Amino acid sequence: MTQTVPARRADEDARLRRANRRTAMILFSISLVFFAGIIASKFLGGTTAGITVVGCGILLYLVMAIGRNLRSGK
Amino acid sequence: MSSVPHDHAVPHDDHGYAHHPSGLMRWITTTNHKDIGTLYLWFSFTMFIVGGMMAMTIRAELFKPGLQIVHPEFFNSMTTLHGLIMVFGALMPGAVGFANWMIPLQIGAPDMAFARMNNWSFWLLPPAGFLLILSLFVPGGAAAAGWTLYPPLTVQAGMGMDLTIFAIHIMGASSIMGSINIITTILNLRAPGMTLMKMPLFCWAWLITAYLLIAVMPVLAGAVTMLLTDRHFGTSFFNAAGGGDPVLFQHVFWFFGHPEVYIIILPAFGIISEIIPTFSRKPLFGYASMVYALSAIAILSFIVWAHHMFTTGLPTAGILFYMYATMLIAVPTGVKVFNWLATMWKGSITLEAPMLFAIGFLFLFTLGGFTGLVCSIQPIDVQLQDSYYVVAHFHYVMVAGTLFAFFGGAYYWLPKWTGHMYDEKLAQIHFWISFVFFNITFFPMHFLGLAGMPRRVPDYAQQFADWNMVASIGAFGFGLSNFLFLYVVIKCIRGGPKAPAKPWEGGSTLEWTVPSPAPYHTFETPPVVR
C-alpha cells in the first residue's frame, strides 16, 4: 500500500478519540432518556412524569456541562 | 469548494486490499466504511426485492375482485410485512449505505468515527430481517395489523408479533448506533477548513436525519416494549380490558412515525441536492436556505403527528393546530423545490441517468407532497382516511421520492464505487420504464381512494375493478424493472469503460478528488478545504 503516513500526532489522536466518545455518550444518553422517559411517563401516568423525566434530563446535561467547564477552567 | 491536492491522485495497484482478510471474512469483520456501505446497500436491495415480492402478492390478489390467490389473513400479513420490510429493511438501510460510503469521502475523513460499532450496526440488521421473515412460519402467522402495529390487534396476535417486536428492537438499536456514528463523524472528523456551512448538502441532510433518529427511534422502542409487556407481563398500557388506552399507542407511534417519514426523505433530498448542481453545471442555488429548510422540516416533523389521527376524536383546537402545523411544512419543502428548480434554471443541463431520476423525483415527489397537503386538511382527511388515496400519496413520497433518489444516487456514484462507467443507455431505459410503470401503478390509486376503496382489503366491490387491474399491471412492470437495475449494477461491477476520478464535469465535492474506484483507505492525511 502506498498511502501516505498518517500525519496526526498520537496525542491529537487520543484527544480526538476522547471527543468522539464524549459526543457518542451524550447522544446515547439522549436516546436513553427518550426510551426510558416514554415508558416511565406512561407507567406513572399523566404528563407530570414525562415533564419530570425531560426536566431531570435537561438539568443533568446542564450540571455535566457546567461541571466540565469548571474542571477545564482549573 | 476546492481542496489542496493530495496523494490520492497517484494510482495504486492493489487499492490497499492486500492487508485485509479476503473472502467472506473480509465482509464479516470489516470496519471499513466503504465495505460497510456496500453491505448496507446490498442488504437494502435484497430486502427491497423481498418486500417487492410481497407487493406483487398483494397486487396479484387485487388484480380482480374476489379472493383467488391467498387467504385474507395471509394478505394482511403481506401488507404488514411489506410496510415493515420496506421502511426498516430497505429504505432506511439504503440511506445508511449511502451515508457510510459518501459522508467520510465528502468531509475528508479517513473513516467513520466508530469503525467497529459501524460493523456491529450493520450485522444486527440481517438477523432482524430474518426474524421478520421467520414470523411468517410460526403458529398464528406473521403480524397482520398493518405496519403501524395498532393495538388491540397487536395485543391479541400470536407469536409472530413477538418476533416482529424483537426485530424492531434490533433494527432500532442498529439505527441509533448508526446515527451516533454519523453525527460524531460529521461533528468531529471534518477536514480542516470544512466548516459546517461548507459541507455538501448530503452530509447536512444526514446530520439532521441522524438527530431525528436519535430522538424518535427510542420512542418507537419504548412503544413496542410497552406492547410486549401488555402481551406477556400483565401491564395495561394499551389494553382497554385492563384500563389501558389503545389510542395512546397511536400517539406514541406517530410521534415516531411522522419524523420517520422525514428520516426516509431527507437523505433523498441530500442526494438530489448533489445530483442537480452537478448535471446543471451550476452551484446549488440558495445553499444556506436549503440547510435552514432541512432544519425547519425536521423541527416541524415533531409537532404534526396527530394529523395521522384526525378520525380518532381530537379536540377542535388540536385538530386546528395539527392541520395548520402540517400545512406549514409545505413552506420549507417549497423552498427546497424552488431552489432545485432555480439551480437548473439557465444551467448547462445534460440528461444522464442520475439527472433523469432527479427530475423524475422533483416531478413525482412534488405531486406526492401536494396530495399530502390535501390530506392535511382535516375535513377532507376524514373522507380519505384509510383509503387508497393515502396509499397513493405515501407511495409517491416513498417510492418516487426516496427510491428514485436512491437510483439516481446509485448511478451518480457507481463510477466512484466500482471504477467503471455504467451502461448509460440501459440506465436511461431503466428510468423510463420505472417512471411509466410507477405512474401506471400508483396514479390510479388516487381515483380508487377518491371513489372510496379502503386500504388493506383483499377483496373489493366490482366498481373498483378496472383501476385495480391497471394498478396491478403497472406493479408487475415496475417490479420487473428493478431486475434491469440489478443487471446494470452487476455489469458495471464486472467491467465497462474505466471511470476517471471525476466522471461528471460538474462534480465539485471532495469524493471526486480521489481515484475511481475509491482506494480502500482515503484521506489518511486530511485534505485542506479552502
Segment B156-171, tens digit of pLDDT: 888 999 999 999 999 9
- A2 contacts in chain B (CB < 8 Å): 10, 12
- B235 contacts in chain A (CB < 8 Å): 43
Closest A-chain CA to B178: A24
State the cell numbers at B244: 389501558
State the pLDDT confidence band at A52, using cuts at 50, 70 and 90.
confident
The DSSP secondary structure of B109-139, one letter per residue, reads -SS-SSHHHHHHHHHTHHHHHHHHHHGGGST
Q: What pLDDT score does A6 carry?
A: 54
Q: What pLDDT score does B244 carry?
A: 87
Q: What is the mean pLDDT of residues B204-213?
A: 95
Instruction: Enter the pTM of the model.
Output: 0.91
| Measured distance CA(B393)–CA(B434) in Å, rounded | 17
The region of weakest confidence among A52-56, B147-151, B165-169, B213-217 is A52-56
Q: What pLDDT score does B19 carry?
A: 62
- Considering only CB atoms, B183 lies closest to which of A6, A27, A37, namely A27
Query: At residue B10, does pLDDT exceed 60?
Result: no
Q: Alpha carbon of B48 to those of A6, A64, B44, B399, B417: distances in Å?
A: 39, 44, 6, 11, 21
CA-closest candidate to residue B219, choices B182, B263, B187, B184 = B263
- A34 contacts in chain B (CB < 8 Å): 214-216, 218-219, 222
Whether A1 sits inside 8 A of B16 (CB atoms) is yes
| Measured distance CA(B488)–CA(B483) in Å, rounded | 9
Residue B74 CB: number of other CB atoms within 10 A? Answer: 16
> pLDDT tens-digit profile of B283-315?
999 999 999 999 999 999 988 999 999 999 889
Q: What pLDDT score does B525 carry?
A: 85
Catalytic positions of B: 82, 111, 147, 174-175, 258, 260, 262, 273, 307-308, 333, 336, 455
Contact A31, B214 (CB under 8 A): yes
Q: What is the mean pLDDT of residues B446-470?
A: 95
Whether A34 sits inside 8 A of B219 (CB atoms) is yes
State the pLDDT confidence band at B253, using cuts at 50, 70 and 90.
very high
Chain A interface, Cβ < 8 Å to B: 1-7, 16, 19-20, 23-24, 27-28, 30-32, 34-39, 42-43
Q: What pLDDT score does B18 carry?
A: 52
Q: What pLDDT score does A66 carry?
A: 80
Q: What pLDDT score does B479 carry?
A: 95
Q: What is the mean pLDDT of residues B207-233?
A: 93
Q: What pLDDT score does B528 carry?
A: 85
- B222 contacts in chain A (CB < 8 Å): 34-39
Q: What pLDDT score does B140 carry?
A: 86
Q: What is the mean pLDDT of residues A20-44?
A: 85
Whether B7 sits inside 8 A of A3 (CB atoms) is yes
- A32 contacts in chain B (CB < 8 Å): 218
Contact B451, B428 (CB under 8 A): no
Work out the minimum CA distance from A52 to partner chain B, whole angstroms.
17
Query: At residue B9, does pLDDT exceed 50?
Result: no
Whether B12 sits inside 8 A of A1 (CB atoms) is yes
Q: Tell me the pLDDT of chain B averaged across its residues.
A: 92
- Considering only CB atoms, A38 lies closest to which of B114, B219, B235, namely B219
Whether residue B500 is preceded by a cis peptide bond, meaning omega within 30 degrees of 0, is no
Query: At residue B8, does pLDDT exceed 70?
Result: no
Q: What pLDDT score does B259 carry?
A: 93
| Measured distance CA(B459)–CA(B335) in Å, rounded | 42
Work out the minimum CA distance from B58 to partner chain A, whole angstroms.
35
On the CB side of B238, CA atoms within 13 Å amount to 28
CA-closest candidate to residue B368, choices B445, B310, B430 = B445
Through-space distance between the first and last CA atoms of chain B, rounded to whole angstroms: 7
| Measured distance CA(B2)–CA(A71) in Å, rounded | 39
Q: What pLDDT score does B240 carry?
A: 87
Q: What is the mean pLDDT of residues B490-509?
A: 93
Residue B383 CB: number of other CB atoms within 10 A? Answer: 13
Whether A20 sits inside 8 A of B19 (CB atoms) is no
Work out the minimum CA distance from B56 to partner chain A, whole angstroms.
36
